Amino acid sequence: MKWEGNRESDNVEDARSSRGGGGMRLGGGRGIGLGTVAIALVAGWIFGINPLTVLGLLSGEGPGPQQQSAPAGKPPADDTMARFVSVVLADTEDVWRAQFQQMGATYREPKLRLFRGSEPTACGQGQAAMGPFYCPGDQKVYIDLGFYETMRTQLGAPGDFAQAYVIAHEVGHHVQNLMGITAKVESTRGRVSEAQGNALSVRLELQADCFAGLWAHHAQKARQILEQGDLEEALNAAGQIGDDALQRKSRGTVQPESFTHGSSAQRVTWFKRGLQTGSVQQCNTFEARQL
């Protein structure tokens, strides 16, 4: 992926220096290894369980009291991975600012907060093992950069464009929040069965995948960011984290009614739809008869 020399976002907050050490920890207790992290991620994606709960069970600890957010500054200039994240975020800002202008609206840029281990958010205590996530309450994307190593070694999804896809997906959730889609889905989920709620969650996640593809479409058109193999990286990442793929890996069977993010084929399909069309309207998973 061609990213060196491109604009870096001013909306990146670096809270990593306020955390001791690089190990992933819960509360003041034991460190959590990558194997446990992968289990928590798989369990959360498959069953719709907050991975924080899974890690608490595995480590024998509860989530612990909420902490206050630590002061955050700008990432150091010599931190290549932080610079990469800043460039990708800036790219999403450019794309979505233009998209919102076309819709007669103003895009409100999210903050992206780098952290290590755990981090208090407006949505509760975030954990590195949850993977990157978006909190509607404070309109921030949270990421522990150690997740990229987990992608490469545990989830079979290496590559810088795969890493960019993850950020673009979370920014897609921010777009949904600004559009009022997230609130509408959450309100509906409280009135329907668990299976119906899962189905709504799938449509929400697939739309975020489509929005990630939309970002790639316009970023490529404006700045020619793609190199050979980049698309394959993103499509592989989408496929590796499909609910059916994760269920097969963890227990050998697939239960579609428990899907919360969509199958591998669905995730690839909707990412490709956004990539090919670059259209917000084409990402309306909620009116699609077939996902």
| Strands of the sheet with 12-14, listed across from one edge | 12-14, 111-114, 140-143, 133-135
Q: How many residues does the chain have?
A: 291
| Spatial contact of 291 and 285, defined as CB atoms under 8 Å apart | yes
3-state secondary structure of 264: helix
- SS3 call for 134: strand
**pTM (2 decimals)?**
0.80
Distance CA 5, CA 200 (A): 40
Q: Classify residue 166 by its DSSP letter.
A: H
The tens place of each residue's pLDDT in the chain, 291 residues long, gives: 888 888 999 999 999 875 433 333 222 233 333 343 444 454 444 333 344 333 333 333 333 444 555 567 888 888 899 999 999 999 999 999 999 999 999 999 999 999 998 899 998 888 888 888 999 999 999 999 988 888 888 778 888 888 999 999 999 999 999 999 999 998 998 899 988 888 899 999 999 999 999 999 999 999 898 888 888 887 887 777 777 677 676 777 777 777 778 888 899 999 999 999 999 999 999 999 888
State how far the Cα of 248 lies from the Cα of 119, in Å rounded to an integer: 31
